[in-house]
Structure 1
Amino acid sequence: MAAVKETDTVILYDPEKEKKYFLNLSLSKGKFNTDRGEIELESLIGKPYGSFIETHKGFKYIILPCTVVDFIMHKLNRLTQIVYPKDAAFIALKLNVKPGDTVIESGIGSGAMTAVFAHIVGENGKVISYEKREEFIKNALSNLRKLGYENRVITKHKDIAEGFEETEVDAVFLDVREPWLYIHHAYKALKTGNMLGILVPTVNQIIETLKKLQELPFMDIEVCEILLRKYKTVPERLRPEDRMPAHTAFLIFARKLPQETENGSL
């Protein structure tokens, strides 16, 4: 069974009140105060996940691992709108991101999509994130540090109008205001046959993006949105929740084809 490390972000769960506390052990020292007493944080290190920890008043909390989704939805410090998990998981699968891959993204935002990519590529992969606003880079790296993913991410404080420095990368993801201005750069950076993903919030942006995609050798062009409807978990009155997290963004995907040769064939 996995044990708590001093760099982990953990959940302390109160089963009686069904209350969660999130804390990052690398940034928190000394004692942690709950409404049921104090916990010595050092005493968490080495304990197996799923075990109990007691406060000085004798109340027990269950130690649980903080998942990437937990962190994004509850602890991520946001300076921007984020890519929500319902979209992020689909994006990662459509781009075929896997362990060991190199992924380019722009921009980094608050680091939510970056964290998902870093989680998947693992210790042997890299996420290369281009961002022209330094405050976003600093905040995103702070978020990634709390997940232990900072070493999997290379940030470049650079405007992508100048192009990407990398070639033959496994996937490219654009989350910028005018993605159609940079699709030719994404094309040059991608491996042939691999996927480009684009996120935009409005229909107007889709139209301009599609026009540009049709000018370049891309296939499997697709536009979609992900709608998520949750249900109340009460067996006696099972029904949808009153609010639905519906539209958050439009997603555009395309697969790179090779450039035409001099004789016109692909």
Structure 2
Amino acid sequence: MTPGDLILLVSPKGKQYLRKFDPEAKLHTQDGVIDLSQVAQAGYGGVIASHMGSLYRVLRPSTYQLIKGVKRSTQIMYPKEIGYVLLKLGIGPGTRVVEAGSGSGGLTTALAYQVGDTGRVYTFERRPEFYELSGKNLEAAGLSHRVTRYNHDILQGFAPEGMVPGDPASDPSGADALFLDVRTPWDHLEQVAAVVCPGAPVGFLLPTTNQISDLLRGLETAPFEDVEVLEILVRRYKPVADRLRPEDRMVAHTGFLIFARHAGTPFTGSIPVLDRVRRAQENPDDDGPPAPGANATPHAPGTSGPAAPAPPPSATDPTASDPPPSGADA
């Protein structure tokens, strides 16, 4: 463990503190002061104590805990939605993904974690206060080096001032995936289609059904297909073996997710293979041009013309053999 690594301190009662490891720092809690110099010796999975004797376990934070630990001034996406978004958009090492509506940076954090050092997240936020907050949260999570951030309204497109065309560190063109968390995503579909690569998955988050209807109408007239609409509900159970039952409260509706794919090549138009199929269906007797030499008739030896076919045996030809009578031995 080295200074700057993220650590999660968890008490037996579930109290959690997410911090960057600094061996010279002290953490003040309700259970007393924790000298973080103990962390290096304890290591991940080990136990340290406050000056009052309260115990805390040292853990490596998961992506879930990174997201839950972001400071927020907006409602962040819940992990239950984020997990599905990552799968639907195919986010993994090397992925180049565009996000619009950074907010507090919850989804941005998850995207940056998943793309690894070989991928890139391009995130756009038009409100300066959210732009600043998401940047601080990414810095706290140690993931800011994987993210290119723009304080920019995407209604003007995904080519903000300062972007260098063709530079993968700043230019999102040809992105592998995109996610929009904005109020009126149907107003941005033209810009979305222009920034992603053909066939790329795209996703949207909306809070109300009437907004979904407006988006669906927009998707019908834009180059998108394979549309899906869903919501995700989570019900936890009390982890007591003798009294296993659902918790009294659950995380129910927190938003609707809508997914689609950019239709790079439409299902209409001229496609070579389909053109041949259509011609065959329209002219079933037309087998097309013959292959070279397919209908050529062989010439008789020593002649320049085709060989005449041999005549059938004549009925008066004495050499022609009659078929054996019925029942005769072969």
The two structures have a TM-score, normalised by structure 2, of 0.73
Q: For the residues of structure 2 that align with 1:19 and 1:256, how far apart are their CA atoms?
A: 44
Deviation at 1:37, TM superposition (A): 3.7
Compared CA separation, residues 27 and 114, structure 1 to 2 (3 A): farther
Aligned residue for 1:112? 106
Q: For the residues of structure 2 that align with 1:203 and 1:52, how far apart are their CA atoms?
A: 48
Deviation at 1:125, TM superposition (A): 1.1
AA partner of residue 154 (structure 2):
I
Q: For the residues of structure 2 that align with 1:34 and 1:130, how far apart are their CA atoms?
A: 36
Q: Where in structure 1 do 4 or more consecutive aligned residues deviate above 3 Å?
A: 26-29, 34-37, 54-60
RMSD over aligned CA atoms reads 2.1
Of 83, 99, 115, the residue aligned with 1:121 is 115
Aligned residue for 1:164? 158
The superposition leaves residues 96-129 of structure 1 with CA deviations (integer Å, 9 ceiling, x where unpaired) of 1111111100110010010111110011111101
Q: Does 1:8 align with 2:5?
A: yes
Q: Does 1:190 align with 2:187?
A: no
Deviation at 1:164, TM superposition (A): 1.2
Compared CA separation, residues 35 and 199, structure 1 to 2 (3 A): closer
- Is contact 1:8–1:146 with CA below 8 Å preserved after alignment? no
How many equivalent pairs are there?
259
AA partner of residue 183 (structure 1):
L
Q: What secondary structure sits across from 2:73 in the alignment?
A: coil
Q: For the residues of structure 1 that align with 2:216 and 2:39, how far apart are their CA atoms?
A: 52
Q: What secondary structure sits across from 1:145 in the alignment?
A: helix
Deviation at 1:54, TM superposition (A): 3.2
- Is contact 1:168–1:189 with CA below 8 Å preserved after alignment? yes
Deviation at 1:31, TM superposition (A): 1.7
Q: What secondary structure sits across from 1:191 in the alignment?
A: coil
Of structures 1 and 2, the one with the larger relative CO (CA 8 A, separation 6+) is 1
Q: For the residues of structure 1 that align with 2:177 and 2:237, how far apart are their CA atoms?
A: 34
Q: For the residues of structure 2 that align with 1:217 and 1:141, how far apart are their CA atoms?
A: 33
Q: For the residues of structure 2 that align with 1:244 and 1:21, how far apart are their CA atoms?
A: 21
Q: Does 1:44 align with 2:17?
A: no
Q: Does 1:21 align with 2:21?
A: no
Aligned residue for 1:135? 129
Gaps of 5+ in 1: none
Q: For the residues of structure 1 that align with 2:22 and 2:214, how far apart are their CA atoms?
A: 44
Compared CA separation, residues 251 and 36, structure 1 to 2 (3 A): closer
- Is contact 1:105–1:127 with CA below 8 Å preserved after alignment? yes
Gaps of 5+ in 2: 160-171, 272-330
Q: Counting strand residues as a fraction of each chain, which structure ranks higher?
A: 1
Q: For the residues of structure 1 that align with 2:231 and 2:82, how far apart are their CA atoms?
A: 11
Aligned residue for 1:229? 235
Deviation at 1:36, TM superposition (A): 4.3
Q: Does 1:85 align with 2:79?
A: yes
Q: Does 1:242 align with 2:248?
A: yes
- Is contact 1:25–1:41 with CA below 8 Å preserved after alignment? no
Q: Does 1:72 align with 2:67?
A: yes
Deviation at 1:232, TM superposition (A): 1.1
Of 259, 262, 274, the residue aligned with 1:256 is 262
- Is contact 2:236–2:250 with CA below 8 Å preserved after alignment? yes
AA partner of residue 19 (structure 1):
G
Deviation at 1:28, TM superposition (A): 9.5
The two structures have a TM-score, normalised by structure 1, of 0.90
Of 14, 17, 27, the residue aligned with 1:32 is 27
Compared CA separation, residues 29 and 79, structure 1 to 2 (3 A): farther
- Is contact 2:23–2:39 with CA below 8 Å preserved after alignment? no
The higher radius of gyration belongs to 2
Aligned residue for 2:323? none
Q: For the residues of structure 1 that align with 2:41 and 2:139, how far apart are their CA atoms?
A: 20
Compared CA separation, residues 193 and 82, structure 1 to 2 (3 A): same
- Is contact 2:202–2:262 with CA below 8 Å preserved after alignment? yes
